[in-house]
Amino acid sequence: MPTTTARGTRRLRVGIIGLGIGRKHIEGWQEHPEVEVAAIADPDAQRLDAVGAEYGIAARFASAEAMLAAGGLDVVSVCAPNKFHMAHTLAAFEAGAHVLCEKPMAMNADEGRAMLAAARRAGKRLMINFSYRFSAASRGLKAQVDAGVFGEFYFGRSVWHRRRGLPGFGGWFGTKALAGGGALIDLGVHRLDLALWLMGYPTPTWVLGSTHDPIARGLAARSGKLFDVEDLAAALIRFDNGATLIVEASWAANIQQAELMETRLLGTKAGLLQKNLDEGYRFDAHIFTEHHGAQLDIHLQPPVLPAHSAMHDYATAILTGGDHPAPGEEGLIVMEILDAIYESARCGEPVRISI
C-alpha cells in the first residue's frame, strides 16, 4: 500500500498488539482510506502468520516490545488480555504513538490513572474501544439526546446477560490475575459505558454492588480448571446529579434468552431503549414519551445514522485534530465504578467514589 494518500498527506501507520479482537481492529482501521495497518504482534506464531497472510501485513512480531522497538508507528491498538493493557499502552506512548486500547481500559482505576498521566506526558491521545457506542442505533439515540428530546435522565438500567456464555475454564478470561474480574469487567463494561455516554457521563458518587458465581463455580470445579471470577454482577450507582443507574452483567444466568442486551434510560421528558435483536448482535432503538395527552412510542428506523468503526472515527480525529470519540478520561470513570462495585461486593457495604 502506498504511504501517501491522494491528498499527498502521509497515511497513519497503525500497529496491532494481540490478534483475537485485534483482527476486527485491522478491519476497522482499514475502513479509513488514510490509514495503513503496518505491523502486527502476537506471541502465538501460528495466529500471527495466519492473520498476516489474510490481511497482507508483512511486518509481524512475536512481541509488542519488538514491534514498538522497530518504530515508525503513529497509532497502536492494544488488544492483548486485560493484564497487559497498561504496560502496552505505556510502551506505545514511549514509542511516540497514540493508543486505542481495548475495553476494559485496565485492571483497575490506578492503572487507568497511570495510563492517562503517560498520555499527557507524551502529548498523545488515549482512546478506549467502547464499541457499543458505534452502532447506528446508539448513534441515533445519542443524536436525540443531544437534541434535548429526553430532558434530564434520572434513572436507568443497563444489562448484558447470557444464558450460558462462560469463557473456557483455565483461560485468561476466567483468571482474576489476568482479567481483573469476570462478566462485569468483560460485558458489563460495555453496557455501563453506553448508559453513561447517553447520560452525558455524570459523576458517580457511590455504588452498592454484588457478585456471584453459582453456575460457574460448580462447572469449574468439575473441570478441575481455574475460574476465580464472578459469573454475574449487579450494582446500583448513584451520581452527583441525583440520578441512579442499575447495571447487571452475566456470563451465565437462568433466563429465557441466550443473549440479552438492554439499556433503558428514563428522562424527565422521554425514555429510551437500546436493545439487541433476536438474541444477537444487531440493535434497535426506541423512544417512549407523552404528546398532547397521548402516550407515544417512536421506533428509530435503521439505518438511523451512518456508523463507522471506532477505528475509523479515531483516525479522523487524529488526522483532523478533532475530539476523539471515546476518551481515556471516560474509560477511567468506568474503572472507578468497576473498582467500587468489586469493593462493595467484597465488603458488603455501599462504597463512596471520590473523583
Q: Tell me which residues touch ligand NAD (CB under 6 A).
A: 17-21, 41-44, 47, 64, 79-82, 84, 102-103, 129, 131, 186
Q: Which is nearer to ligand NAD, 27 or 44 (CB)?
A: 44
Q: Smallest distance from the beta carbon of 156 to ligand NAD, in angstroms?
A: 21
Q: Smallest distance from the beta carbon of 213 to ligand NAD, in angstroms?
A: 19
> Residue 245's closest CA among 333, 323, 120?
333
Q: Which is nearer to ligand NAD, 185 or 270 (CB)?
A: 185
Q: Smallest distance from the beta carbon of 107 to ligand NAD, in angstroms?
A: 10
- What does the alpha-carbon distance between residue 149 and residue 152 come to, in Å, rounded to a whole number? 9
Bridge-based pairing of strands 98-102 and 126-129 is parallel
- For cell 448482535, the residue is 281
- What does the alpha-carbon distance between residue 40 and residue 52 come to, in Å, rounded to a whole number? 7
Q: Which is nearer to ligand NAD, 64 or 270 (CB)?
A: 64
Q: Smallest distance from the beta carbon of 339 to ligand NAD, in angstroms?
A: 17
> Residue 289's closest CA among 281, 298, 280?
298
Q: Smallest distance from the beta carbon of 310 to ligand NAD, in angstroms?
A: 8
Q: Which is nearer to ligand NAD, 17 or 159 (CB)?
A: 17
Q: Smallest distance from the beta carbon of 61 to ligand NAD, in angstroms?
A: 9
Task: Give the CB-side neighbour count of residue 211, counting CA atoms within 13 A.
Answer: 24
Residue pair 189/332 in contact (Cβ under 8 Å)? The answer is: no
Q: Which is nearer to ligand NAD, 19 or 99 (CB)?
A: 19
Strand arrangement, sheet containing 244-250: 294-300, 282-291, 270-277, 259-267, 153-162, 244-250, 232-239, 204-212, 351-352
> Residue 284's closest CA among 107, 135, 171?
135
Q: Smallest distance from the beta carbon of 205 to ligand NAD, in angstroms?
A: 27
Compute the chain's Rg from CA coordinates: 21
Q: Which is nearer to ligand NAD, 82 or 211 (CB)?
A: 82
Q: Which is nearer to ligand NAD, 20 or 96 (CB)?
A: 20
Q: Which is nearer to ligand NAD, 21 or 219 (CB)?
A: 21
112: Cβ contacts below 8 Å, ≥ 6 apart: 86, 105, 106, 328, 331, 332, 335, 336
Q: Smallest distance from the beta carbon of 152 to ligand NAD, in angstroms?
A: 29
Nine-digit cell at 2?
Answer: 502506498
- What does the alpha-carbon distance between residue 81 and residue 61 come to, in Å, rounded to a whole number? 17
